[in-house]
Structure 1
Amino acid sequence: MRTPVVMTLGMVFAPCGLLLNLTCTLAPGWRLVKGFLNQPVDVELYQGLWDMCREQSSRERECGQTDQWGYFEAQPVLVARALMVTSLAATVLGLLLASLGVRCWQDEPNFVLAGLSGVVLFVAGLLSLIPVSWYNHFLGDRDVLPAPASPVTVQVSYSLVLGYLGSCLLLLGGFSLALSFAPWCEERCRRRRKAPSAGPRRSSVSTIQVEWPEPDLAPAIKYYSDGQHRPPPAQHQKPKPKPKVGFPMPRPRPKAYTNSVDVLDGEGWESQDAPSCSTHPCDSSLPCDSDL
């Protein structure tokens, strides 16, 4: 996995801010005082948090000057010492956490640790920005920051500029690294959505459970269980004959032609003139077509 852009920016801005703040803290250049009476015109005095240096014509520089006005006992100077040292320590801690969280040599960075380092670096930037801004606010106030009387002038020196730049870089780097929390929060929210709810939801509409009769299944489904076909219970018993319903009807006699009147009576079939029985059967009870 490529290192995210926010982590890359944070790892670039934070060391630069640390270097600038370290220079701002140690260098004697918070305030420039010049225009001393009974001194050469090019004499300048650089005041810092820990030391004072006297410079003339950019050729001779003498540090460790005595504090004649009580500058080092001023409240902005004492507060700036404490907050700048604390800011440096917090920056080192934040960079250590960032190097462990970003892990450019690994496939997956630790988003939580990288985001935590961003928070620490952002706090370090605030700790350095507060004393620099406060010192700059009382820079010309001779009652808060003692200095020789007029015509001596006081001006902003390079250490304050470096302090502002270092604080801004720490704020940007810390904010950039703190954005590493976004993928972690997104993954956590996704897990919460996929996780099952604690209990069943109660419906706002009251429901009534109705038990419907089971439909008749086909024999192939009804008697199939445990992977085997089971014969229905009726197959183990002999089928009973179905009872006959109704009453017997009388059968009609077969139809036949009968004649109750003897139509041959008096015909004299016994006479000799009568035709012989070879053509007409004499014992037949049915009339012949010729007789009719």
Structure 2
Amino acid sequence: MRTPVVMTVGMVLAPCGLLLNLTSTLAPGWRLVKGFRDQPVDVVLYQGLWDMCREQSSRERECGQPDDLGYFKAEPVLVARALMVTSLAVTALGLLLASLGVRCWEDEPRFLLAGLSGLVLFTAGLFSLIPVSWYNHFLADRTVLPFQESPVTVEVSYSLVLGYLGSCLLLLGGFSLALSFAPWCEKCCLRRRKAASGSPRRPSISTVHVDWPQPALPPAIKYYSDGQHRPRPAEVGPADKPKVGFPMPRPQPKTYTNPVDVLDFETGAPSQGASSRSTRPCHSSLPCDSDL
């Protein structure tokens, strides 16, 4: 699986923020003081959290300058020391969690661990942004951050700018890594939906089950043949296959049969029964055989 874009962005911005914050913490360049009366015009004094350095254009930088005004005892300086060191430690912890969560050498990253590392890095960015902003707010305040009287002026130095940049990079990198919670939340929602669909739902209202009698089924369609009930075609075997069609009535015979024997006169003397039959008139509407 390719590393998601949010993880890649976070893994690039977080180390850059760590490097900038480390430089800002150690370098003596939070405030630039210049314009001293009893010194050359090109002499400047760089004040940091741990050291002060004097620099002149024609000479090298000289660090370890004495603190005559109690600059290192000022509250913004003490708070900045504690919070910047805390920010560096928290950033290192966040990068360790991010390296274990992203796992570029594995098939699939650990989204939950990567999201937690994003929260840790975002917190580290807040820890470094708070002292930088507070120090910048009291930069020209003589009562909080003491410096010599006028015409001495103070300006923002490079370490303070690096602290701002490092804090913003940590905030952006932590936020980008924290977006890794989205795939993890999606997987959790899918698991819950599958679990909910697999288990039967309990009704919110109690129900009473009543065993109602089953209604009587209507009789099946009966098959009739020749005016009698026959079994279904599926129940009839090959030997008992019913005849197809309806019985046709036999037609009435239209031919007429004469009961008198017409050959009695040809064979001999007619018998008594035959003579009586021949003299009997034919009352049928059809012609008699004797007439033919």
Q: TM-score, normalised by structure 1?
A: 0.74
CA distance in 2 between counterparts of 1:189 and 1:100 reads 24
CA distance in 2 between counterparts of 1:137 and 1:118 reads 28
2:106 is matched with which residue? 106
Q: Which runs of 4+ in 1 moved over 4 A?
A: 202-209, 214-218
Superposed CA deviations along residues 229-264 of structure 1, whole A, max 9, x for unmatched, are: xxxxxxxxxxxxxxxxxxxxxxxxxxxxxxxxxxxx
2:269 is matched with which residue? 279
Quote how far apart the aligned CAs of 1:207 are: 8.8
- Structure 1 counterpart of 2:203, one-letter code: R
Report the structure, 1 or 2, having the larger helix content.
2
CA distance in 2 between counterparts of 1:290 and 1:105 reads 135
- Give the superposed CA RMSD: 2.8
- After TM superposition, list the pairs within 5 Å mapping 1:165-180 onto structure 2: 165-180=165-180
Call closer, same or farther: CA 1:159–1:58 in 2, change over 3 Å: farther
1:289 is matched with which residue? 278
Is 2:147 the counterpart of 1:147?
yes
Seq. identity, %:
73
Q: TM-score, normalised by structure 2?
A: 0.74
Quote how far apart the aligned CAs of 1:204 are: 10
Partner SS for 1:76: helix
- Structure 2 counterpart of 1:24, one-letter code: S
- Structure 1 counterpart of 2:116, one-letter code: L
Partner SS for 1:154: strand
Call closer, same or farther: CA 1:286–1:179 in 2, change over 3 Å: farther
Quote how far apart the aligned CAs of 1:286 are: 8.9
- Structure 2 counterpart of 1:290, one-letter code: T
1:120 is matched with which residue? 120
Call closer, same or farther: CA 1:57–1:286 in 2, change over 3 Å: farther
Specify every segment of 5 or more residues in structure 2 that has no aligned partner in the other structure, as ranges: 221-264, 282-292
Specify every segment of 5 or more residues in structure 1 that has no aligned partner in the other structure, as ranges: 219-274
- Structure 2 counterpart of 1:212, one-letter code: Q
Superposed CA deviations along residues 68-124 of structure 1, whole A, max 9, x for unmatched, are: 000000000000000000000000000000000001111100000000000000000
Quote how far apart the aligned CAs of 1:289 are: 1.6
Quote how far apart the aligned CAs of 1:193 are: 1.6
The count of aligned residue pairs is 236
CA distance in 2 between counterparts of 1:85 and 1:146 reads 23
Quote how far apart the aligned CAs of 1:200 are: 2.5
CA distance in 1 between counterparts of 2:149 and 2:181 reads 54
Quote how far apart the aligned CAs of 1:187 are: 1.1
Quote how far apart the aligned CAs of 1:278 are: 4.6
Quote how far apart the aligned CAs of 1:210 are: 3.7
Superposed CA deviations along residues 116-172 of structure 1, whole A, max 9, x for unmatched, are: 000000000000000000000000001000111111111100000000000000000
